[in-house]
Every structure is written in structure tokens, then in C-alpha cells.
Amino acid sequence: MARSKVINQKSFNDGRVVLYQLENRPKKLWLCRIKVPGGTGYIYRGTGTSDLYEARKFADDLVDDLRLKIRLGQAVTGPSFAEMVEDYQTSLSSRVSGPTRQERAILAFLRTYALPYLRKTKIAEVNPKLIDQFFDWRRQNPAKGKLPRETTILHETSLFSSFLRWCHRRGHIDREIRLNRPKQDGKRRPHFDKGDWNKLLRFQPKWIRAGKAIAPQIYRSRLYLGHYIAILGCTGIRVGEARGLRWQDIDTEPSDEPGIVHVILHVKGKTGIREVVSNTPLLKDSLSILWKHRVNELGHKPSLSEPIFCHEDGSPIGSFKKGFETVLREAGIELDRYGEKRTIYSLRHTYATFQLQDGVNHYALARNMGTSVKMLEQFYGHVANRAMASELTKSRKRKVGAKMAWEE
């Protein structure tokens, strides 16, 4: 690509500050090149203005900032943003265990979106204002033909924060940068109403059985997906929490009501370790079916440390996303009543909606879901809360009672 030609150039301070414009730039904005005070190398910046007086003022202010940083012992040059992304990737790939799922997501975000905007920027110059400008740009530049939602921007802000903390630990940023998190709009989250939820539950058994005629692997995948949907819909646990769920994490406790047994899931998620309580028959049936299937598959009881949602070799199933999209499409319930596409996370929203409709106390539900009452009120304020008397469980006192299959 041919370099743009300089059409105007102004020098100040014995050539230590140079302002210039480039041809083929419609706004004719002034750019500046500043020699590092008392050091080697140059700093290049856009002034953001086509007015020469304002551009000169910008350059003078920048020189003053550089001098102050030098007096304070702070770096004014250093690796570029692109170089730090390469360093980050090298650091991750050098581990024996490799990068985590979160770290892979950070790297994908940086390469896909952040690099095109910040490639030549020095990492030491990154600040909240610049990142706000980046996300403004991100909102206006579609990826794969679609503009990002604010929930996507919120997630990407978290990814960016993690990367910047890593840069700070490496000594390339002299302070921790706190990013401005976009406000969530409280918009309804796609979920299943009771009609579509029941439609899905009725559709799945025949869809799972039909998998037998295709291939054993298809039947197994559909079986695990079907009970994955049931378990997440009955407990509201997050996708990551379900991925780490093992047989040893399942406990039971009799309730004060005869014949009712609470199932307790000990999950570890982004809010720490918590107990998730449910007494839904569908949950108990799904767990029992998966246990029996695994026993038959192995010819013996599986290790209690094995993931509940696992491949035949016992390794955890990474994602049910494609299968979930397929079953919703074939059941004809991809979209909710507002035209929003349902995702696996809709199962968590469905759980919250049904619990609130049934009158579960907000505080008890928030504890069970690992969230806050404020979040429930923000995202589920449209749900009619008919009663406030019920709680998820009345007693935490251990009693002897019925056992699930894996406890025997």
C-alpha cells in the first residue's frame, strides 16, 4: 500500500515538534511527531483537529506530559499494543497446560477487534478515555454484518480488563486501569414461556429416540443434550458451572414435606462456590437416567469425580451450542414471543422467570442463582411476583432419607 504524501509541515522548538498533514485525508487533520524529551526516539500522535493553533496547543501539552512522566520515572515509549498481544499469546502457548477457555476468548477478542484499532498505540499510552473511544468505534463497526449488543460490549469490557491487568503485572502499564462498564439496559432476556418449555420437553423424547436409527453417537449426543437442557432449566446454573459439575457434587436432603427430597448441587462459578437447591422431579429423573446410562456404558459405576456431562472417554463435553440450536429449530421454538433468538443461557432466564412467577422470595432465589436481588429486579421486573411466602428450602438440618442412585 502506497504511503500518503505529506502536504503541509510545520516545525517548532528547533524541530523537536513537527506538525504535518497528509494528502487524501478528507478532514485534513494535523498529525504530530515529537522527539522524546531528553531521550531517543519519537512519539507520533493525531491531534484530532484541522486548526493549526489547536494542533500546536495539543503538541505543547503533550510535550509537557512527556516531561512530567520522565521526571516521575514513567515510561514514555515501550512496546506497542500489537507487540503486547503477541507477547500475551506467546505467554499462553508456553504453558504445558495451555490457555484456559477465558484466555482463549481474550486472545480472540484482541486479535479480532482491538488490534485493528489500537495496533500502533504504545501500551503505556492506553487509558480509559482511549478505550471508551475504541468501544464507541466498535459499536459502529459491525462484525460479520451485525452490530454488537450492549451485553456483548459488557463481556468484551471484561475481557479487555483482564488483558490490561496482565499487562500491569508484566510492568508495561504503571497502574491498574479501571474501565467504564456499559450500563445494562434491563431488557428482557430471551427465555421459554411455559407453553414453549412444555413443547420442548414433549418434543425431546421422540427426537432422542430417533437418534438411535441414525447412529449410536447421535443417540448419545441427543440423550446428553436433552438432560442437559432439563437440568439447567430446573436449576438455573450457568454453562460453566454445568461443565464442571461432577457426580460427587450432587447431594440430597429430605424436606419437611413427606416424600419430597431436595437435590443439592455444589457448583463453582464466577461468584464462587455455592449450593443450588431444587426438588423438581424432572431434575431427579434426568440425573438418574444419566447415571444409569453411564453405568451401562462403562459396565460399572463411574468415578464420582467424573464430569456428569462427559464424552465416552470421560472427558467433559465442551459445548452443547450447536445441538441446542438444532433441537430448537426442529421443535420450531428458536425465537421467543418478542422475536429474540434463544440461547443456552435462556435456560437460566427461564428458571428465574418460573421461580418468580411461582412466588419464590427474591433473596432466596438470588442466593440460589449466585446473583443479586438488584440483578433480578433489573432483568426480571416484568415477571409478576404472585406471592412472597415460599422459599427454596425451609430447613438446612441434615436428616436421613431417600438416596439417589450414585449415593448407594
| Least trusted range by pLDDT, from 101-115, 120-134, 171-185, 251-265 | 171-185
Grid-cell match 507487540, residue found: 83
- Which DSSP symbol is given to 307? B
87 closest CA partner among 169, 175, 174, 155: 169
| Least trusted range by pLDDT, from 92-101, 295-304, 321-330, 333-342 | 92-101
382: Cβ contacts below 8 Å, ≥ 6 apart: 188
pLDDT digits (tens, 9 = 90+) for 194-214: 999 999 999 999 999 999 999
Query: pLDDT at position 1, please?
Result: 39
Distance CA 193, CA 51 (A): 58
Q: Which three cell numbers stand for residue 45?
A: 500522535
Percent of the chain with pLDDT over 90: 45
The number of residues making up the chain comes to: 408
| Least trusted range by pLDDT, from 11-25, 50-64, 172-186, 360-374 | 172-186
Class of the domain covering 194-407: mainly alpha
pTM of the model: 0.59
Q: Which three cell numbers stand for residue 239?
A: 454453562
